[in-house]
Structure 1
């Protein structure tokens, strides 16, 4: 959220905040339902998918932080 507030103009901060929390709420509601359906085919599949999502998120964070560091150096 802090990153989004840094990159958008002041006129869009309310809009981006609302969109962020809208999608957070959708994920908070549907996430457990979807994971529950996935785990019906086995707990290991649910854990593997969750781990894959965490890995993807970590890679995105690393990529974004390196790109931001490169932009500061220029």
Structure 2
């Protein structure tokens, strides 16, 4: 049996640190809570497509420069 797992990861923490922005600043700019930013950075929450676009505009990066999609296919025969 195959186990298909998909993972969405991001480098928000690094991008935010580069700009020396706080989670609070990013949250207020995007009109979300600080907890949302924390959850995104710790990969506990996946953003909506609209939020992903807003994040990319804020950081001046393409979505695929911020978010990575990995599909792990393991064979469990």
TM-score under structure 2 length normalisation: 0.29
Q: Could you say which structure has the higher helix fraction?
A: 1
Q: Could you say which structure has the higher strand fraction?
A: 2
TM-score under structure 1 length normalisation: 0.29
Q: Which has the higher contact order (CA 8 A, sep 6+)?
A: 2
